[in-house]
Amino acid sequence: MPSGPNASGSLIDRFGGVYLLPLAMMIVALPLVGSFSSWATLTVAGLAMGMMIFMMASGLSLVFGLMDVLNFGHSAFITFGAFIAASVLAALAAWVQADSLVLNFLALSAAIGAAALFGLVAGWFFERVIVKPVYRDHLRQILVTMGALIIAEQLILVIWGGAPLSVPRPALLSGSIILGDVAVEVYRIFAFFLGLIVFVALYLMLNRTRVGLLIRAGVENREMVEALGFRIDRIFIAVFMAGSTLAAMGGAMWAGYQGLISPTLGGELLVLVFIVVIIGGLGSIEGSLLGALMVGLMGNYVAFIFPKLALASNMLLMLIILLWRPWGLKPAVGG
């Protein structure tokens, strides 16, 4: 019987493997939820939530896998992304509330773009000043990145205050589409497709470009990549910046999804983000997507069926998956 991260040949692998797990989860949930319309609403909400968490988690997974860096400060990018996007939308309130789709779209693009720009610049600063001095030292990484996270959260309190902030949603993304008995929020469809676009872009970059090849190789054995003549530290800065940008964009999307955000938003989401990275498999974009979709679906179904188990549900999911596949669902590193 093969073993290790790439063990194959089991019955489940022959029928599509772990890629079918989100689908299996949906099928199992249908009779438990009872009503088709409730199930459809929960499923769309779970997929949208999953895609937003995927955006936040994919960068962390690559950073973790590529340079073995435990960045607890990742949630600061999420929180800042959310607050920056909320502030931009508030500043462009006239465009947000206008009947013009063009103005709505411009306001939304400005909000997500501002969050992304912040993520890019903050990611560069964070890597150079905070992470670089503590490469290869996990204990110091945890201490230093936690310290940076505390400072970042205090900065958010200084800039935006401690009260929850309301996030205006562009008219373009307000309301629902009615399909039979099922009402699907437009924002959830938008979040799902934006996440899908990000996944496809990341997948193509990793699998169709030389930079992607280097990142995948670096996740497995960065020393050997250097011995082949490449500067892995330069690749890592780019990956870190991309990761922080995606986290900030994910935070911006989450702000619009929730409608009301608080400075603890990033810290609360970081638990889910780490669960996704762990159950997906370190350094794996496909694993992150699978993990994020399962976490999103699980959270929504369990909150509806067994509300008291909602908080523990994703911990249980992680426990079950790690008992079954200790390396995660789709680990990047070969056996």
**What is the rounded (10 degree) CA torsion for 58, 61, 63, 65?**
-140
Query: Of 260, 253, 239, nearest to 112 (Cα)?
Result: 253
Closest residue by Cα to residue 83 from 225, 215, 260: 260
Shortest spacing between CB 283 and another protein, in angstroms: 9
Nearest CB to another protein, comparing residues 219 and 292? 219
To another protein, the closest distance from the beta carbon of 209 in angstroms equals 9
Closest CA to 288 of 267, 301, 266, 273: 273
Torsion-angle region of 165 (φ positive above 0: left; ψ -120 to 50: alpha; else: beta): beta
Give the three-class secondary structure for 330. Answer: coil
- CB of residue 305 to another protein, shortest distance in Å: 37
Residue count (the chain): 335
Smallest distance from another protein to CB 100, Å:
46
- What residue ranges bind another protein (CB under 8 A)? 4, 6, 210, 213-214, 216-217, 219-221, 223-232, 332-335
- Rounded to 5°, angle at Cα 55 from 149 and 85: 65
Q: How far is the CB of 5 from another protein (least distance, A)?
A: 8
Pick between residue 164 and residue 212 the one whose CB is nearest to another protein.
Answer: 212
